Chains A and B, each alone.
Chain A
């Protein structure tokens, strides 16, 4: 089913008599889901873009690329730097705004500016009973009523099907500076990244590869802005990190190094399951040593770990209890895709699902 209007979408959901599998561009098949495919791809088009107000509103099926091109023409961008899952998941298709929002997809810059959900100003969606609901709006500050925009962000289509999303956007930057440190152990690298992120120099990316180019450890830090300011801060940051060894600085207008971090291409085209683990940076190296993955990429200063492990392995058994959560992004393991919740929270979650989707037809089982 491919509705072309919000009303059609509502009618289709109201009339559905079995499970629906909600799809944008189908590039992020995360989580298990059966059912008839309901695609939002035809609910597309940018309905409002005000560069002076840093606001864009578009249909859920609008391709992310179309939004990014439109913004680029006004020298603006999606600051949360959404990941393109296609290389890692080996999918094709066209990533859409709705998919982005439903999976709360962010990139390396999330540590500095916030996640996708932090940039979502408003949504329109259809709940599991076919009701059309709007929440939030298109202004940057809005505390009028409950924030169902956040609730929809990252709900993977299990509470409602988004038809329209309003986003805050930010100015593009003139220059990107990347600082590179070689040969650091995981612990040392995370200490260096914490030092950088705790400095006043506005680091917008902090990633570490235990096996970087040529198999040696590589730690990279990003600074963005006007050219002179980037040079100044990169030099100050180099001095701040002197204790961690030599720091190379690369000044460039090309962001491809960071696009690779964003899309986790480091783990693409390698056999095995891919997990995404979120924890506090200071706990990261310890967690990784517990699970001894085949490969790992640290992002967010260590707070986000992308790991490659043998197929079918239940990683949570090795991780034990920790402050954070692990999600199976690509793989065959017979385990819940998302981190099981504590009973009191699980009760809230299932309570919300039963209200928004009483028949349990929207991506049933997807987030368990």
Chain B
């Protein structure tokens, strides 16, 4: 079994704020990330698929097909977007990078049928990253 990972980039802004918390609590919990005007990141997205290399092509996945799907379903949706305005992805959830990572995983898992999406890893900055393999996913 081969795990193949492709990296993509997009830039987006968000504000961490929960309607379930008071103004003071939001300030205390989210600190600078609660700034009313929001703030942005250059996200790096890693998408991992797994499978056996096709004997005819030596490839686990058609990369052009994967690039097209991630481009249409993820990059076009989130690149240069204000995540809080995306009600379909977040509803009443705070658009943290944790929740964004889970949303992207489910979008890819549900829509990309060529090979299984095993893992999504999202770097918010070069110092912070989040990884999701689904609820049943195992770590190495």
A and B: interacting chains? no
